């Protein structure tokens, strides 16, 4: 009887695995649907609210007129311009930056095998800040007009990326520890350079520029700057999603990855470039916004587990929703003035991070 029982148990276990996979896929699909609805609703609410509140019906009417080429009464043109020209690109930029930061944070944590890693740990944001401040103070790239600062920030981010990679490269390639240490060291170096530049050019304009790039803001969002960052972030998410299995393996260590047929050095080099370009594009239009790329991946792991195939799908929605609401609070809490986004994300991120550390059963980087 004992033999027949064991024999019968094998098919039942094998049969239960597809059922569990179907249940997991159904739960993930349901979560994606719910988060999609929440994100769309958040976007519409954020577009309608501000120092001048526009009723939801009018908000929908203005957006529909913009998309379809409809007409707006003359006495409503001002409100229409507020909705379409100012708030809509700003809210959409907040959503795409939040999604991008969440995905890059999850990927970086796997690439460097560090649960405290975020999109800015490799010095990209500090390099972008130096590029932006250089353009603002010395008029470099002035021929590009309103896009000069963003282009300068993106160029600074790419220079920082190249320096980090070249310095971190050793006899065995680029290791996670060397990447992190080099990124942190160069980040302090870039901040020192920026401080010296501001010290010798003490103007109110330079001070506000530094505040923007160190604390973050979507106040400069325009329809002209939106398509480039949207294309880069979406393309980056797609690429990272295709490397979900190598990221799972690399999170276990390079030796384990090699035994499973994953070339950690090559994959890390390629994904390092992808995440750096994504971060540079986001910093160029929003400045540095902390804690989103650090906390959202951990929250996502609590909800759906550690596998990157699901993590890189759910995290963008959570990051986008969070950033839309943070931006809404920043421009309405003390209206007509705006709070720096970095202040709010820190006020939210620090308590959440402490709760994660004290949560029983959760290990940073996985369950």
The winner for highest mean pLDDT among 68-72, 202-206, 310-314, 331-335 is 310-314
To the nearest 10°, report the CA torsion of 232, 235, 236, 237.
130
Closest CA to 125 of 205, 38, 186, 196: 186
pLDDT(213) > 80:
no
Cα 336 to Cα 155: distance, rounded to the nearest angstrom = 33
For residue 207, name the pLDDT band (cuts at 50, 70, 90).
low
Cβ burial, residue 324 (10 Å; 0-12/13-18/19+): buried
Q: What is the pLDDT of residue 2?
A: 47
pLDDT band at 360 (very low <50, low <70, confident <90, very high): low
Contact predicate 193/132, CB 8 Å: no
pLDDT given for residue 264 in this prediction: 83
User: How many angstroms separate the CA atoms of 19 and 1, rounded?
Assistant: 28
Number of C-beta neighbours around residue 303 at 10 A: 14
What is residue 36's predicted lDDT score, i.e. its pLDDT? 95
**pLDDT at res. 209:** 64
Q: What is the mean pLDDT of the chain?
A: 84
The pLDDT of residue 170: 76
Please return the burial class of 128, using the count of CB atoms within 10 Å of its CB with bins 0-12, 13-18 and 19+.
buried
CA 124 to chain centre: 13
CB 250: neighbour CB atoms within 10 A? Answer: 26
**With the CA atoms of 265, 259, 115 and 308 taken in that order, what torsion angle do they form, in degrees rounded to the nearest 10?**
90
**Residue 170: beta bridge partners?**
173
Helix, strand, or coil here: 253?
coil
Domains of the chain with CATH codes: 76-358 (1.10.3470.10)
| Secondary structure of residue 307 in the 3-state scheme | coil
Please give the pLDDT value at position 312. 94
Of 111, 155, 67, whose CA–CA distance to 252 is shortest?
111
Q: Does residue 365 register a pLDDT over 80?
A: no
From 85-94, 127-136, 220-229, 300-309, the region with the lowest mean pLDDT = 127-136
DSSP labels, 148-162: HHHHHHHHHHHHHHH
Predicted confidence band at 205 (pLDDT cuts at 50, 70, 90)? low
Instruction: Quote the CA–CA distance of 267 and 39 in Å, as a whole number.
Output: 32
């Amino acid at each position: 009887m004992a033999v027949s029982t064991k024999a019968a148990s094998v098919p039942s276990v094998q049969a239960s695995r597809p059922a569990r996979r179907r249940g997991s896929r159904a739960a993930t699909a349901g979560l994606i649907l719910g988060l999609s609805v929440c994100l769309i609703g958040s976007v519409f609410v954020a577009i309608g609210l501000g120092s001048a509140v526009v009723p939801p019906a009018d908000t929908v009417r203005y957006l529909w007129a913009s998309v379809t080429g409809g007409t707006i009464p003359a006495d409503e043109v001002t409100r229409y311009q507020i909705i379409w020209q100012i708030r809509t690109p700003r809210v959409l930029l907040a959503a795409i930056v939040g999604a991008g930061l969440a995905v890059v944070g999850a990927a970086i944590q796997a690439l460097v095998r560090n649960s405290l890693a975020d999109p800015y740990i490799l010095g990209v944001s500090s390099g972008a800040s130096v590029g932006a401040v250089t353009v603002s103070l010395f008029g470099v790239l002035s021929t590009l007009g309103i896009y000069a600062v963003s282009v300068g920030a993106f160029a600074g981010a790419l220079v920082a990326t190249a320096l980090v990679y070249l310095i971190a490269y050793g006899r065995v390639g680029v290791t996670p520890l060397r990447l992190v240490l080099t990124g942190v060291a160069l980040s302090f170096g870039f901040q020192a350079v920026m401080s010296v530049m501001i010290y010798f050019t003490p103007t109110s304009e330079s001070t506000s520029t530094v505040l923007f790039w160190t604390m973050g803001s979507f106040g400069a969002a325009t329809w002209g700057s939106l398509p480039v960052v949207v294309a880069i972030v979406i393309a980056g998410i797609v690429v990272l999603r295709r490397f979900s299995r190598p990221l799972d393996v690399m999170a276990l260590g390079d030796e384990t990855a090699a035994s499973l047929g994953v070339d950690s050095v090559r994959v890390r080099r390629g994904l390092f470039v992808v995440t750096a370009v994504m971060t540079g594009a986001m910093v160029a239009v929003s400045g540095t916004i902390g804690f989103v790329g650090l906390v959202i991946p951990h929250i996502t792991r609590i909800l759906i587990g550690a596998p990157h195939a699901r993590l890189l799908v759910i995290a963008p929605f959570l990051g986008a929703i969070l950033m839309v609401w943070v931006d809404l609070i920043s421009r309405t809490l003390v209206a007509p003035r705006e709070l720096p986004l970095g202040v709010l994300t820190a006020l939210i991120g620090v308590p959440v991070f402490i709760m994660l550390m004290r949560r029983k059963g959760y290990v940073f980087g996985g369950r």
